[in-house]
Amino acid sequence: MAGMTEMKITEEEAMPEARSADSAVEPARHRPMGATARKAVERVTELGEQTVGEVRCENPFIVTENVDVYYGDNHAIQNVTLEIGKSEVIALIGPSGCGKSTYLRCLNRMNDSIESARVTGKIALDGQDIYGSDLDPVALRARVGMVFQKPNPFPKSIYDNVAYGPRIHGLAADRAELDDIVHTSLDRAGLLKEVKDRMDEPGTGLSGGQQQRLCIARTIAVNPEVILMDEPCSALDPIATARIEDLIDELSQDYAIVIVTHSMQQAARVSKRVAYFHLGRLVEVDETDKIFTNPRHKLTEDYITGRIG
Amino acid sequence: MTANRKNSREIVEAGLARRRRKEATFRATGMLATAVGVIFLGVFFGTLVMQGASAFKQTFIKLDVEMSESVLAPDGDLDLAYADFDGLVRDALRRGFPAVSGRKERRELYRLVSVAAGYQLRDELTSDPSLLGSTITIWVPASSNVDMLVKGNIDPAIDESLRPISDAQAGWIESLQQADRLETRFNKALFTNGDSREPELAGIKGALMGSFYMLVVTVALAFPIGVAAAIYLEEFAPRSRWSDLIEVNINNLAAVPSIVFGLLGLAVFINWMALPRSAPLVGGLVLSLLTLPVIIIASRAAIQAVPPSIREAALSLGASKMQVVFHHVLPLALPGMLTGTIIGMSRALGESAPLLMIGMVAFIVDVPGGFTDPATALPVQVYLWADSPERAFAERTSAAIIVLLGFLLIMNLAAVIIRKRMERKW
Amino acid sequence: MQNLTLILLLAAMAGGAFYAGRRRSFAVVGGPAHGAQLHSLPGYYGYFTLIWCLLPALGLFFVWVLLEPKVIVALIVQSLPDPQRMVSEGELNLLVNNIRNLAAGDAISGDADAVMRDAAERYNEYLAASRRVLATLTLGIAGLGGAIALRRIRPEFRARNRVEQVVLYLLIAASSIAILTTIGIVLSVLFEAIRFFREVSLTEFLFGLTWSPQTAIRADQVGSSGSFGAVPLFTGTLLITTIAMVVAVPVGLMTAIYLAEYSSSRVRAVAKPLLEILAGIPTVVYGFFAALTVAPWVRTAGEAIGLEVASESALAAGLVMGIMIIPLVSSLSDDAIHAVPTAMRDGALGLGSTRSETMIKVILPAALPGIVGGILLAVSRAIGETMIVVMAAGLAANLTANPFEAVTTVTVQIVTLLVGDQEFDSAKTLAAFALGLVLFVVTLCLNVIGLMFVRKYREQYE
């Protein structure tokens, strides 16, 4: 079964792969300095235990130390250490099956629902161990929201979609407050203008891009501190993608955002830092500029220049 | 923003305990619901085995019978069909208990032994005429009440008037036990006899053969017709209103109450076509109509599972559509079709309601020997015995059910094995 | 068994025809070496001959066998002297039956008089003659058909196309049997029901409150007309169905939820097959269990808390029927739950819903049409269920909603009216078909609506 899912992903990625070829050129063109700098540094070539670059950051909010994830006998993530700062956007990139989505799903314990999954190591959110026995994943997920690859609005009205989170958590004391939360969230997601006259219509009736923004509104209605995004634009057209990217930019003022993406332009456009995963290992982490202009690991370079995809 | 967040974190934390309790209740309810079915199954099989296991054993009594000519042929010529073999049994019992006197007591004594004893003696003498005049030692089946007492199904402690065994009879039984003249053995009669009014003589062979003949008819009709229908609908039928109608119709037929098929059988096969009542032939016809939808649905699924690339490959080599179907699609879909057919057959084997409509509930002693002989079926036998008030029949009903479930289990296992073994990954 | 001999003979002829056809195809091109000159493979010429030999003969055979008894009986009745013919239809049927039994050498009811013995003798004569003619005709037609086919074989003859055409017609015939079955059900139930409604008005049947179908045998007997108000049967069916659904729907649904959402795969691997076993137990076995085990329990339990419980209470039958339906509800709910995309579940969990909140507020509402469809199918199953109620519910047509009393159902009455000796034309017997019509129509509606729900819902997420 694992083999089949992998196959499928590869097919879907045929496109981003093609795009990634020129994405490697693009940052280089914009920053001509990179080409010269690239030659100066000696490259790491093996896929070793050690992550290249700077895994630490100042003012860390999420700290993951030596995280391993197993699906049954499959060692999906190996010894990943990474810090994510408050109000920074970090992009996770890498070829399919490299473990970037798995890593993302560790951060709000969405892997819990997979029976065979096992996580070891330490993941702390704001100093609190999220795999600690005293922590309820429900409370964790209220703090760490998630946006999925395919827009997944509930088969309910637009209003109820956004109101869902506040309702289950009891965030609104009365209807007026709930209305307020719904409106604010839709507004922040840039969707309010388009839907304010049809709040009672089903959320599934919106266009793909609108649906994804609805899902973002739904997520921020719970008032999280971190938003995880698992390839949020992979099912959208370029215009809708651009709107979401703008939105991510705005949201990054208030939230730590971890985004998994296949598109290197997207990573370059929205993120402050980039983490490159390969075969379950975190190969390289650094400032976005540095990664795209001057990758220090051979594998990173191969990936961003389109040699592996 | 930060203050706001702190606020909502507190609210979420505050609600957690309540939500966890709800979660736990919901989960426990689910577990309980799952347990209901499983527990029922356990209780069900438990009571069934407890009630039915003893029916596979039968109590026998050892008698020393004198094949006395004066009893069998008082006027000189021996006619085996009318000779008084019961008299021999009575003589033997009297000799065994010389102390018993008085008409009432003696009659009670005679009731220890089944009426089958007389038949058994006749069979002995028929197979070996030289036994006439000699004394033979023979194990004969005890009557059902004795059987029940020995198996512990009658409580000797309760008041005498409330149980079918008198104190005197209980005493005789005990003395027989002490003299090693009473034994429980495997109940062969259960598998070799037809139905009977006497529990100790009643067997399921008639019902088994009835079910067998019916299933033969059902397989012979439903399998080829079902497969042919599935082939047409999947491979040849143009997508039209008509094929939609057939499709809806087949799905509906699969959900029509079985008793309605019984009404169909009664009106069409018996009243209109004047086929014989109570015949396995008619039962088989009704059951094949009943299982046809099951087989068609399973066969269509099996055909759908054959990848189109195989059809295209064969077509591209110049095979006709019919050749593609019969040379390639059918062999590949056959395991799935067989599995569906076996499942359909197991449903047919357990079906009884439509059989009641076509007269297969008659009391039939003879084991049917053909498709038009009056017969009953195993589940109908269960129904008939379940209606009988005697305790001994309740035991035999459970035994018949165990046999029926055994057959169903074998059929379903066969289906699983075929599916597993022939499973093909595309 | 004479017919069996005939069939075997026919089969032998068909085999011969196949080989003759094959050989003939070689012969027309001058031996197997020139087989390539044939339009079709030689086997197809064989099949072509076989079809011509077998099909017309078999068709004749079945029509003949079907009509034979009717024609003979008509002839016998025609030949009877007037006094015997001028009796009521029922008595005539009895007479014909006796004649037939006499002819077969079986015991008959009453004494056989000279007229009857005469008739029986004639019956046997006609039968023998009929069989002789049938055998001659069938074998003759088979031979003729084969010969015609053989004559038509030429090298350019398109045997394969012809054979395939016939096979296609056979396939069409097979698939139309499903339609014929439905038509057969509708017609057989409808005709008898119409005859019933000639004697008893439709309004009395549908709205009458008293059900006592015991019509007297002779018209001059006291209380000769039974009453056929079926309302107590409908309410009884409804009561037992309701009890069954009260058991089956929550338990089945929660089972499906538990197995889909909470249980480990090991528990699932055990529980699912066990539920399938529950679904595979014949209904007669459930009936036995309901009547002999559950009904006494219910009674004892009821008496322990001071309730008066009938020994054949609706509750016992309903409970066991509910258990029987659990697997159906749980498997259809399981399908519906699994059809909801996992993205929906992830979305809810990602927002911090507990599993129960995810299930109740997101997945179940999304799966609702499928679940409702499944429940409708389950209701239809409960209404049509026969053996459990025949064995565990009563015959008394009480108009009550008290689950501790005995009630009777539509299916129980159908069985009671049709099992045992019966006159085919009495209102009592016909009433069973009227009930059957109601049963068929109601379950058909439930099935159509239920299947529509299930199908629509499945398409929604595909």
Q: In CATH, what number is assigned to the domain containing residue A95? A: 3.40.50.300
The DSSP bridge pattern shows strands A256-260 and A226-230 to be parallel
Alpha carbon distance, N-terminus to C-terminus of chain B: 56
ipTM of the complex as predicted: 0.90
Number of structural domains in chain A: 1
C237 within domain boundaries: yes
Look at residue C80 and tell me if it is in a domain: yes
| Structural domain contains residue C375 | yes
B239 touches chain A (CB under 8 A): no
Q: Rounded to two decimals, what is the model's pTM?
A: 0.85
Chain A residues closer than 8 Å to B14 by CB: 170
How many residue contacts between A and B have a Cβ separation below 8 Å?
31
Residue A187 lies in a domain: yes
Model confidence at B163, pLDDT cuts 50, 70, 90, reads: confident
Contact A150 C350 (CB under 8 A): no
Is A131 inside any structural domain?
yes
User: Residue A244 sits in which domain range?
Assistant: 2-304
Shortest distance, CA A54 to any CA of chain C (angstroms): 29
Q: Which of B249, B252, B320 sits opposite C160 (nearest CB)?
A: B320
Q: What is the pLDDT of residue B366?
A: 87
Number of domains in chain C: 2
**pLDDT for the residue numbered B340:** 92
Residues 113-172 of A with CB under 8 A from C: 113, 115, 138-142, 145-146, 148, 150, 152-156, 164-165, 168-169
Task: Using CB atoms, pick whichever of C341, C346, C361 lies closest to residue A110.
Answer: C346
* Chain C nearest C-alpha distance from B109 (Å): 31
Q: What residue in B sits closest to C282 (Cα-Cα)?
A: B350
Asked if the Cβ–Cβ distance from C344 to A152 is below 8 Å, we say yes
**Distance from the A278 Cα atom to the nearest Cα atom in chain B, whole angstroms:** 31
Q: Has residue A30 got a pLDDT over 50?
A: no
Residue located via tokens 């395991």: B335
**pLDDT, position C425:** 66
Q: Nearest-5° angle of CA A299, CA A304, CA A308?
A: 60
What span, in angstroms and rounded, lies between the C-alpha atoms of C301 and C290?
15
Residue of A nearest to C343 (CA): A152
Choosing from C108, C135, C157, the residue where a domain stops is: C157
**Which structure tokens are listed for A98?**
């490299």
- Same structural domain, C151 and C249: no
Tokens coding A157: 């009205």
Domain housing C138: 2-157
Q: Which residues of chain C have pLDDT under 70?
A: 1, 83-90, 106-112, 214-225, 420-425, 459-462
Is residue C435 less than 8 Å (CB to CB) from chain A? no
- List chains touching B (3+ CB pairs under 8 A): A, C
Residue A309 placed within a domain: no
pLDDT of residue C90: 65
Query: Quick one: C87 and C235 in the same domain?
Result: no
Please check whether residues C246 and C109 belong to one and the same domain: no
Q: Which helix (H) or strand (E) holds B288?
A: helix B280-304
Residue of B22, B256, B268 with shortest CB distance to C443: B256
Q: Which of residues 150-209 of B touch C (CB under 8 A)?
A: none
Look at B279-283, B286-290, C2-6, C290-294 and tell me which has the smallest mean pLDDT: C2-6
Partner B, chain A 186-225, Cβ-Cβ below 8 Å: 222-223, 225
Contact B257 C386 (CB under 8 A): yes
Q: Which two tokens stand for residue B426?
A: 């595309």
Q: Of the candidates C103, C122, C157, which is a domain's last residue?
A: C157
* pLDDT, greater one: B284 or C105: B284
Mutate which of A5, A101, A154 to disrupt the C interface (most C C-beta within 10 Å)? Answer: A154
How far does CA A83 lie from the centroid of its chain? 14
Res B130: pLDDT? 85
C383 vs B: CB within 8 A: yes
C401 and C303 in a common domain: yes
What's the mean pLDDT in B12-25? 92
Query: Whole-angstrom Cα distance, residue B421 to residue B400?
Result: 31
Give the confidence band of A39 by pLDDT, cuts at 50, 70, 90: very low
Q: Which residues touch A104 (CB under 8 Å, ≥6 apart)?
A: A92, A228, A230, A258, A260
CB-nearest partner of A170 from B4, B9, B11: B11
Query: Are A148 and C350 in contact (CB < 8 Å)?
Result: yes
Q: Specify the long-range contacts of residues B241-248, CB closer than 8 Å, at least 24 apart.
A: B245/C179, B246/C175, B246/C176, B246/C178, B246/C179, B248/C448, B248/C451
Nearest CB among A108, A168, A215 relative to C357 is that of A168
- Give bridge partners of residue C120 from the DSSP assignment: none
Q: CA-to-CA distance for A188 and C416, rounded, in angstroms?
A: 71
Q: Choose one of C136, C157, C178: the last residue of a domain.
A: C157
Q: Do C349 and A110 touch (CB under 8 A)?
A: yes
Is B12 in CB contact (< 8 Å) with chain A?
A: yes
Q: Which residues of A fall within a CB distance of 8 Å from B8?
A: 142, 169, 171, 222-223
Distance from the Cα of A218 to chain C's closest Cα (Å) equals 8
Is residue A35's pLDDT more than 50? no
Using DSSP's 3-state secondary structure scheme, residue B275 falls into: coil
Q: Does A282 touch chain B (CB under 8 A)?
A: no
Residue C233 and residue C93 share a domain = no
User: Which residues of chain C have a CB within 8 Å of the CB of B23?
Assistant: 354-357
pLDDT at C220: 52
Q: What is the pLDDT of residue C320?
A: 95
How far, CA to CA in Å, does B383 sit from each of A238, B355, B379? 70, 11, 6
Position C110 scores a pLDDT of 63
Across all residues in chain A, what is the average pLDDT?
83
Confidence at residue A199, expressed as pLDDT on a 0 to 100 scale: 93
Q: Read off the amino acid at residue C166.
A: V
Q: Is residue C187 part of a domain?
A: no
- A136 contacts in chain B (CB < 8 Å): 16, 20
User: What are the pLDDT digits (tens) for C275-311?
Assistant: 989 999 999 999 999 998 899 999 999 889 888 888 8
Q: Which residue of C has its CA nearest to A228?
A: C350
For the cut 90, the answer to whether the pLDDT of residue A271 exceeds it is: yes
Residue C311 CB partners (closer than 8 Å, separation 6+): C295, C296, C299, C406
Tell me, yes or no, whether C195 lies in a domain. Answer: no
Find out whether C13 and C53 touch, Cβ atoms under 8 Å: yes
pLDDT confidence band for B350 (50 / 70 / 90): very high
Shared domain for C151 and C234, answered yes or no, is no
- Smallest Cβ distance to A141: which of C264, C344, C349? C349
For residue range C52-67, what is the model confidence (pLDDT) as tens digits?
A: 898 999 999 988 888 8
Query: In one letter, which amino acid is A248?
Result: I
Mutation to test the A interface, candidates C351, C353, C359, most A Cβ within 10 Å? C351
Q: Does C366 touch chain A (CB under 8 A)?
A: yes
Domain co-membership, C237 together with C337 = yes
Which residues lie across from B113 on neighbouring strands? B142
Question: Does residue C435 belong to any structural domain of this protein?
Answer: yes
Which strand ranges, in their side-by-side order, compose the sheet holding B182-186? B135-141, B57-66, B182-186
Q: Tell me whether A258 touches chain C (CB under 8 Å).
A: no
A contacts of C353 (beta carbons < 8 Å): 138, 164, 168
Closest CA of chain B from C140, distance in Å: 26
Alpha-helical regions (H) of B305-352? 308-316, 321-324, 330-350
Closest Cα in chain B to A173:
B11
pLDDT score, position B241: 83
C-alpha radius of gyration, chain B, whole number: 31
Inside any domain, residue A114: yes
Confirm whether A125 is domain-assigned: yes
Q: Closest Cα to residue A100, out of A305, A281, A296, A234? A: A281
Per-residue pLDDT of B214-267, as tens digits, reads 999 999 999 999 999 999 999 998 888 888 888 889 999 999 999 999 999 999
Residue C218 backbone phi and psi in degrees, to 5: -105, 145
What confidence tens digit (pLDDT) does each residue in B171-206 have? 888 888 888 888 888 988 889 888 888 888 889 999
Provide the 3-class DSSP secondary structure of residue A61: strand
Chain B contact probe: residue of A125, A140, A169, A180 with most B CBs at under 10 A: A169
d(CA C38, CA C45): 10
C-alpha separations of B367 from B191, B354, B357, B375, C415 in Å: 11, 21, 21, 7, 25
